[in-house]
Chains A and B, each alone.
Chain A
Amino acid sequence: MNIFNKIGRKSLGWGFSVAFALLLPSCDSDDLLHPVPETSITGANAFDTPERILGLVNGVYKSAKGGNFYGGNYYTYSEVRGEEFINRTSNTFTAFEAWNHTLNASSNFIAGFWATGYETINNANILIKGIGEHPGVVSETLAKQYVAEAKFVRALSYFALVTAYARPYNEDQGASKGLPLRLQAETTTANNDLKRSTVAEIYAQIIQDLDEAEPGLPLNYSTALLNTTRAHRNTAIALKTRVYLNSGKYAKVIEEAKKIVSGEAPFTAATGVNHKLENITEIFTTNYTSSESILSVPMTELDNVTGQTSFPYVINANSEYNLNPAGIWGDTEWRASDLRRKFARTASGVQFLTKYAKPSPFLDYLPILRYSEVLLNYAEAAARTGDLTTALALLKAVRNRSDAGYTFPKEATGTRQALLATILKERRIELLGEGFRSNDIVRNLAPFPAKSGNGLVAPEVVPSQANYVFPLPNTEIVTNKLLLAD
């Protein structure tokens, strides 16, 4: 108070006025109206350092690991459309609409899977473009490798999308309309509209990406973990066997498969990562990064997918789907002694798949590419092209790994037709709960069988029906003016 009195009223008033005036110009300073974010960077400097570029590479994989993609829901939706599982909760948020074939253009997953797929594609496109525009930040080899990885992930994403949202290639050799083919990095809203390319054009791009990726990818990485979680040369080759199989190019399947499958059992990859069939139980429980797991989605304490988005949560922990006794689970030729039968538990008189048995937060790796799939792809292509001997050898390798004493009955392998059927059935056993069933039905132009249980019914869906494949998402239809323009 003394101070105030000493200063006097007049000077105090002036003091305030001066303080007031001083505050005015300081307001528009950069500090005040341009605060800098501390948890993000701006696009302009994203390619400035090798660490940032590596971060972007990880970011591409991470987007493929999104909850609606390989992080979880992709498996749930691909699996439950098929006949192997029976829904128990009629919950829309855990794929009930996929199970009973009522997904529509407004369904969450229809929009979510599409968005995550394309987000991954765009992140890959941005990486490809950015590395090209910033030469010298990383070594040329590394630059080539990163571009190859981006192309691999782009191919993987397009394949997942084209097999879900477009008519099957085998129906008309890819003549029907497929997806918008985005190869350009988008960082503005300038190119919102893009028409669909044909299914064949999408497949051609996938193969081109994988062919271009193959030489750029390293033969292997320094650790088993990286060999399973990042793409290497054999990863691209393995995916090519799947893509060619899907488009009926069996000779090409064999050509690619031969690069990584030896001529005789025990089948192994001669170059790059030394893939072979490993202990079937361990690869799903303790040894996620064995040579068999060509590419898997890693899960860690710090980075995982839980809740209704998590496939292990839906299929096991929360018991939302039980194994259909009328599906492959009920197959009598799949013997109780088969180790793959151990991936199940019984509750309420029905069985639940426990391939991913770890509880929340669900740290089991989810496989994308396994060596046994490559063998079965090869076997199928061989059978279809008449090489029954190779086909049978490959089939046996897969079966006997889990059920050593089993011999296939003659009638199951004697003819090309029978062998093919047996191989397809083996896929259902071997790859159960790995996201294959829906695509295996569609690529063979087979109907989705009717299924029922727990008081719920799903009708049969034949290839001629619109809901045989996913509808295009409404969000895309209303925002991309060229999508349905032709």
Chain B
Amino acid sequence: MTPDLIYGLCGVAVFGIGLVGALCAQDRLRRVLALKLCSVGAGFLLVVGAWRTPPATPDPVPHALVITGIVVMVSATAVALALIRRLQSLEADDER
């Protein structure tokens, strides 16, 4: 077991946990959080892939991919949260 393999499997595991949550969770917020977990796992995996044994510097391109992925995920989360809020306020009106 080399360190990058351990970290890589860790990323896969985190992605898997997120995937299960995104597919199985009922609660809307919980599903958003599960998708966030997926994105953490995916990012982790790519960052680990960029790692090189110390004297060599890590490959910067996957880092750039991950940063873009994070930015995309932030805006996607914002949209999802806005939708959830709007739905909740509409449903609260129904119950009144």
Binding partners A and B: no
Query: Residues of B at under 8 Å CB distance from A?
Result: none
